[in-house]
């Protein structure tokens, strides 16, 4: 057989910065990043795409950005676009085209930067538009929620929803930098402040038993608003996420996705609830369900199971929801398993739990056992509620 073999590797590098008040004139972090990426004889353009919700709580942000960028002669602010946040940013193609058309109108090229500021959905859509315009414009992520700062915002995925399917269109495209600005978190609702911690529980359960213990010790503090604890949680969760990407299969060429622990159920719950359930809230339920399943199938002991459920409850998560309680809707939830397999293709790959800090990949789940796990979880929550009352 006559052939030529092609083999090459591409290296990707980026820093995830931790700071506060990023665009205050005295904060050197963003300026220093820009100056490190200057190019002789070129004034680079920057296009900002900002979540409307963020500008509502930070009304001076746009002015701050204009002033900040104006002090750096080797860069030029092209424009600042604002778009709706939440799933709407990924559902409505109007926002995607708003970014693409701005790239065209302002002559944003491959040496320019597109900077997204917002929650995970705004960053996913902005990252996608940047990744495919001119075959890839460098993009910077400034996540503004706990969930995006500790999880998706520091990773390499982007995408939009299409034909009613989550992330149907997207790519793997590492950002050139991520800036986790803690100040944005201080204006989150109590619900959003809390819900992102579910991803920390997830990554601790499959990768780091010590971090799980830390979460147990600091759950009450974080819920009460302890900023230092919250910052540590975000940093450690982001770090575990980055390590997982670097050591694993960054562009998911193979099937296993341990970071999707609890997510087959979570994705379906979000969709069935029309995104009234937050991603973190759905992940908490998904973790609880897969832990109950791991317990009922003899994989996980009762003691760690109860520690996990207690931690999730202490973090304020409800572990049951009408959509997984009712027998009539259970078949809809089970469809989540099929959807999850279809998105990836090939064999089903699900992570279950053997112990805290120890996940294991399996290739099938029993439907009757999933239903039994949801019943068990319901009974557990009702009993716990009675004991508290």
User: Considering only residues 238, 282, 350, 377, which one is a binding residue for its own copies as defined by CB under 8 A?
Assistant: 238
User: Considering only residues 132, 324, 333, 353, which one is a binding residue for its own copies as defined by CB under 8 A?
Assistant: 132
Task: Look up residue 196 and give its DSSP letter.
Answer: T
Stretch that binds its own copies, among 105-113, 221-229, 270-278, 328-336 (CB under 8 A): 105-113
Taking residues 167 to 206 in sequence order and writing x for each that binds its own copies by CB under 8 A, - otherwise, the string is: xxxxxx-x--------------------------------
DSSP string, 241-257: HHHHHHHS-TT--SS--
How many residues make contact with its own copies (CB under 8 A)? 70
Stretch that binds its own copies, among 84-92, 133-141, 192-200, 259-267 (CB under 8 A): 133-141
Stretch that binds its own copies, among 69-77, 103-111, 319-327, 329-337 (CB under 8 A): 103-111
Q: How many residues belong to the chain?
A: 389
Stretch that binds its own copies, among 166-174, 218-226, 278-286, 315-323 (CB under 8 A): 166-174
Quick count: other Cβ atoms within 10 Å of Cβ 111? Answer: 14
What does the block give as tokens for 28? Answer: 């050197």
Specify the pairing of strand 113-118 against strand 350-355: unpaired
Answer yes or no whether residue 165 interacts with its own copies by CB under 8 A: yes
User: Considering only residues 112, 145, 148, 294, which one is a binding residue for its own copies as defined by CB under 8 A?
Assistant: 112
Of the CA atoms within 13 Å of residue 220, those in its CB half-sphere come to 2
- Residue listed under structure tokens 């199938």: 297
* Smaller CB separation from its own copies, 61 or 240: 240
User: Considering only residues 71, 163, 386, 388, which one is a binding residue for its own copies as defined by CB under 8 A?
Assistant: 163
Answer yes or no whether residue 26 interacts with its own copies by CB under 8 A: no
Q: How far apart are CA 208 and CA 201, in angstroms?
A: 10
Scan residues 326-365 and list those touching its own copies (CB under 8 A): 342-347
User: Considering only residues 34, 102, 123, 133, which one is a binding residue for its own copies as defined by CB under 8 A?
Assistant: 133
Q: How far apart are CA 362 and CA 347, in angstroms?
A: 10
Stretch that binds its own copies, among 8-16, 214-222, 274-282, 288-296 (CB under 8 A): 8-16
User: Considering only residues 104, 186, 354, 383, which one is a binding residue for its own copies as defined by CB under 8 A?
Assistant: 104
Q: How far apart are CA 300 and CA 355, in angstroms?
A: 6
Quick count: other Cβ atoms within 10 Å of Cβ 32? Answer: 11
Stretch that binds its own copies, among 64-72, 232-240, 321-329, 367-375 (CB under 8 A): 232-240
User: Considering only residues 57, 106, 162, 214, which one is a binding residue for its own copies as defined by CB under 8 A?
Assistant: 162
CB of 99 to its own copies, least distance (A): 12
Q: How far apart are CA 114 and CA 382, in angstroms?
A: 49
User: Considering only residues 72, 81, 100, 223, which one is a binding residue for its own copies as defined by CB under 8 A?
Assistant: 100
β-strand partners of 172: 157
Scan residues 244-273 and list those touching its own copies (CB under 8 A): 245-246, 250-252, 255
Look at the alpha carbons of 216, 218, 220, 225 in this order and tell me if their dihedral is positive or negative: negative
Q: How far apart are CA 169 and CA 161, in angstroms?
A: 6
* Smaller CB separation from its own copies, 44 or 321: 44
CB of 232 to its own copies, least distance (A): 12
Task: List, in order, residues 6 or more apart from 366 with CB less than 8 Å away.
Answer: 297
C-beta separation of 30 from 68 below 8 A? yes
Three-state SS string over 258-314 comes to: HHHCCHHHHHHHHHHCCCCCCHHHHHHHHHHHHHHHHHHCCCCCHHHHHHHHHHHHH
- Residues binding its own copies (CB under 8 A): 1-19, 28-29, 32, 39-42, 44, 100-101, 104, 107, 109-112, 131-136, 154, 157, 159, 162-163, 165, 167-172, 174, 235, 238-239, 242, 245-246, 250-252, 255, 342-347
């Amino acid at each position: 057989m006559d052939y030529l073999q092609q083999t090459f590797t591409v290296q990707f590098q980026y820093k995830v910065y931790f700071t506060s008040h990023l665009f205050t004139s005295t904060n050197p972090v963003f300026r220093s990043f820009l100056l490190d990426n200057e190019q002789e004889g070129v004034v680079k353009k920057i296009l900002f795409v900002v979540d409307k919700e963020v500008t509502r709580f930070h009304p001076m942000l746009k002015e701050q950005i204009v002033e900040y960028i104006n002090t750096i002669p080797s860069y030029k602010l092209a424009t600042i676009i604002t778009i709706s946040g939440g799933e709407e940013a990924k559902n409505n193609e109007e926002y995607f085209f708003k970014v693409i058309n701005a790239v065209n109108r302002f002559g944003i090229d491959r040496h320019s930067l597109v900077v997204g500021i917002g929650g995970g959905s705004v960053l996913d859509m902005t990252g996608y538009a940047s990744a495919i315009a001119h075959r890839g414009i460098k993009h910077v992520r400034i996540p503004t929620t706990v969930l995006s700062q500790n999880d998706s915002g520091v990773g390499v995925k982007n995408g939009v929803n299409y034909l009613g399917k989550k992330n149907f269109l997207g790519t793997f495209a590492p950002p050139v930098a991520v800036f986790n600005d803690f100040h944005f978190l201080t204006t989150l609702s109590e619900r959003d402040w809390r819900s992102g911690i579910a991803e920390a529980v997830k990554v601790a359960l499959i990768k780091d038993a010590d971090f799980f213990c830390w979460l147990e010790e600091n759950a009450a503090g974080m819920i009460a608003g302890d900023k230092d604890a919250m910052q540590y949680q975000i940093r450690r969760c982001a770090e575990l996420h980055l390590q997982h990407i670097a050591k694993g299969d960054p562009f998911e060429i193979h099937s296993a996705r341990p970071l999707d622990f609890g997510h087959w159920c979570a994705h379906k719950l979000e969709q069935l609830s029309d995104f009234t359930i937050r991603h973190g809230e759905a992940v908490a339920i998904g973790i609880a369900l897969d832990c109950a399943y791991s317990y009922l199938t003899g994989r996980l002991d009762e003691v760690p199971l109860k520690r996990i459920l207690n931690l999730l409850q202490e973090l304020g998560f409800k572990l049951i929801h009408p959509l997984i309680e009712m027998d009539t809707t259970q078949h809809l939830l089970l469809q989540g398993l099929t959807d999850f397999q279809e998105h990836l293709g090939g064999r089903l790959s699900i992570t279950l739990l053997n112990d805290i800090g120890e996940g294991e990949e399996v290739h099938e789940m029993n439907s009757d056992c999933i239903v039994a796990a949801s019943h068990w979880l319901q009974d557990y929550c009702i009993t716990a509620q009675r004991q508290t009352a």
